[in-house]
Structure 1
């Protein structure tokens, strides 16, 4: 035991004796700041903080007060949506599609087929009928607005409104277009066909038809554009007797041809007599025309210009146009037709059928003009003259200097003084 104690004491160094009264100086150890995580200005841990964090494995990082990390409680409870698989398409090189060789038709007689015209199946029968009747007039099935423009309404007809239009390719050329709705009524379409047949006759005293366009449910009728109507002149002043005689002679030529081909006009008045820039006189608006080979009893026309037999709905013929012409002559000189102040239709019809033929009231024509009007306004249709007889009588009076008659140039000069320039 003694030997073992001495051996242990010999191996261990001697421990200094400790006394509380003796102060032993101790060296101060420098504190390391490597345990702190410093954040740089860019929000990343500095290199010293990374080194120290590797040594502090298993310990929580230091956070400033007030900042906490929300724990991920759900984890992978919800599956993330799978994005659809995308494929990269091969880029199209348009230069490879261009062939260096030119295209040649399969044969020298090959023709590219034209697209069919835009027409309606319901109007094919009506279109074939027009093409068969109007052989000298072009019938189109395209949109008329592609050919015409600058539409301006200038009047109204029986079957539709009349507008002024210009060609797109020729702005200096103007036409008058009458637009009619193609109702399925058979009688209505027959009236349109009669009107087109009369205008397609190309008589110099009848308004000339240029072309017809069928587009959807409308019929566009292109005609010659005249300077004005006689009614437009009457809105400014009355027409002198010499111009009235000339207009009457030209209107009689139109009526002679119209009655010869078997048609009635049934609406002779100043609104339907058109005047040209060179003094031409043409009859227009044949929407109420009828055939003379039928028993006509319909009361159609303008009431103040109707003949007594037409008002009574008796069988009438072309003599009703001669009565209307006599009323029109009074209208040209008086500026208003007879019985102008009568507004009630029943009273007007009673006056026309019961009283003798009217005469001039506001003008002072010659005695020969009064005799002409009295001849035309005969109450008995059998003793009423025809258009050819009246024209022959007028020629005799004009050559005998009993009636003054102007020339086309004088009428054109008169229109230039009365109407505003266009």
Structure 2
């Protein structure tokens, strides 16, 4: 069933403040060395401002992957150099069952390439749009897996900053994979950049104040509300960011609570969407422990959930490996024909973590 909420586009980004000086955790995964000729490009899975994501198949192990291709000139012109480098550096550090894996990166004269998991079940957004809203136990399952992913990121001093159903993918077994780390960064203390998706912004971001990792817990509250009702708490039929931001700053007292909401669900949403970050669940003395111990999550076996031992409420209809039918179809526009071409490289030095790879066959 269609709902009247279009896919949210991220906000424009202001210049990022300098990252804090912290020792980055060492990558847990050996970084692979890849080149275009290692893969057969199958189809486009998605498009964006800087490029597109392709389904590809490895010529070596015959497994399917997703390759994110970013046009360097567009990344530079839209002042996304730091965010692009942050995405790569963050994903190199992270290995978690509910977070997408980055297997390697490379670049050529015109483009950056990120080799990632192919997650065949598509976006949680699509499932939610089809369902209109989720029953309480279904929303709880996805929220609990997201909470585990956020807690892992925060344990590495990583702030995510773009939680929404569009960025949660479903694996073949129905478990989640948090994807799209374009706004993520290492943040040991606070930061101030205005970025994210409008409906999911915490009040301190809207007010352009410094903020910490608790904005991710705020966004979890918004996500739970959207999963249970079908729309974010401050949604308007006609988007008006000024009105939206005014409602966000007024806090949860302005929310119209659907009658079907369980009392415990309402309570955890209120505690996650608390306007005062010092009183927000996930950001107090017990950290994420307050979230995990909330009565709404009482029946969740966190150890079994983390081990993917609990059956997911929805199993994607997948005919076999490489089935991308859960994703929208996009015209390929012969984009892949332009990859790997020789030419002037004006921006390569801005992306030192992306190694160069020739298009010659191994």
Using structure 2 for the length normalisation, give the TM-score.
Answer: 0.69
| 1:348 matches 2:250 | no
Q: 1:168 to 1:363 in 2, by over 3 A?
A: farther
Please name the residue that 2:299 is paired with: 398
Provide the secondary structure at the position in 1 that maps to 2:33: strand
How much does 1:326 deviate? 0.7
Of 84, 87, 91, 1:192 maps to 84
Of 370, 374, 377, 2:266 maps to 370
Contact 1:311 1:349 in 2 (8 A): yes
Of 153, 164, 174, 1:258 maps to 153
How much does 1:363 deviate? 6.8
Q: 1:181 to 1:150 in 2, by over 3 A?
A: closer
Deviations 1:382-408 (A, max 9, x none): 1001134202336861169xxxxx974
Of 119, 124, 130, 1:230 maps to 124
Q: 1:276 to 1:349 in 2, by over 3 A?
A: same
CA distance, structure 2, for counterparts of residue 407 and residue 189 of structure 1? 39
CA distance, structure 1, for counterparts of residue 259 and residue 32 of structure 2? 46
Q: 1:420 to 1:177 in 2, by over 3 A?
A: closer
How much does 1:295 deviate? 4.0
Q: 1:333 to 1:190 in 2, by over 3 A?
A: same
When Rg is computed on C-alpha atoms for both structures, the one with the higher figure is: 1
CA distance, structure 2, for counterparts of residue 255 and residue 284 of structure 1? 12
CA distance, structure 2, for counterparts of residue 399 and residue 234 of structure 1? 21
Contact 1:199 1:209 in 2 (8 A): yes
Q: 1:255 to 1:355 in 2, by over 3 A?
A: closer
CA distance, structure 1, for counterparts of residue 208 and residue 153 of structure 2? 22
Contact 1:229 1:272 in 2 (8 A): yes
How much does 1:296 deviate? 1.5
Please name the residue that 2:7 is paired with: none
How much does 1:165 deviate? 2.0
How much does 1:265 deviate? 0.7
Please name the residue that 2:105 is paired with: 212
Q: Name which structure has the greater RCO, CA cutoff 8 Å, separation 6+.
A: 2
| 1:411 matches 2:313 | yes
Contact 2:123 2:169 in 1 (8 A): yes
Q: 1:244 to 1:196 in 2, by over 3 A?
A: same
Deviations 1:220-247 (A, max 9, x none): 1111111111101022112221121111
- Structure 2: state its 5+ residue gaps: 1-25, 283-287, 302-307, 327-362
- Structure 1: state its 5+ residue gaps: 1-131, 401-405
- Calculate the aligned-residue CA RMSD, in Å: 3.1
Of 69, 78, 84, 1:179 maps to 69
How much does 1:179 deviate? 0.9
Please name the residue that 1:149 is paired with: 40
Using structure 1 for the length normalisation, give the TM-score.
Answer: 0.59
Q: 1:170 to 1:271 in 2, by over 3 A?
A: same
CA distance, structure 2, for counterparts of residue 157 and residue 363 of structure 1? 37
Q: 1:160 to 1:257 in 2, by over 3 A?
A: farther
CA distance, structure 1, for counterparts of residue 256 and residue 134 of structure 2? 13
Of 258, 261, 271, 2:166 maps to 271
Deviations 1:284-305 (A, max 9, x none): 1110113323542221101111
CA distance, structure 1, for counterparts of residue 81 and residue 187 of structure 2? 18
Contact 2:98 2:177 in 1 (8 A): yes
Task: Give the aligned length.
Answer: 280
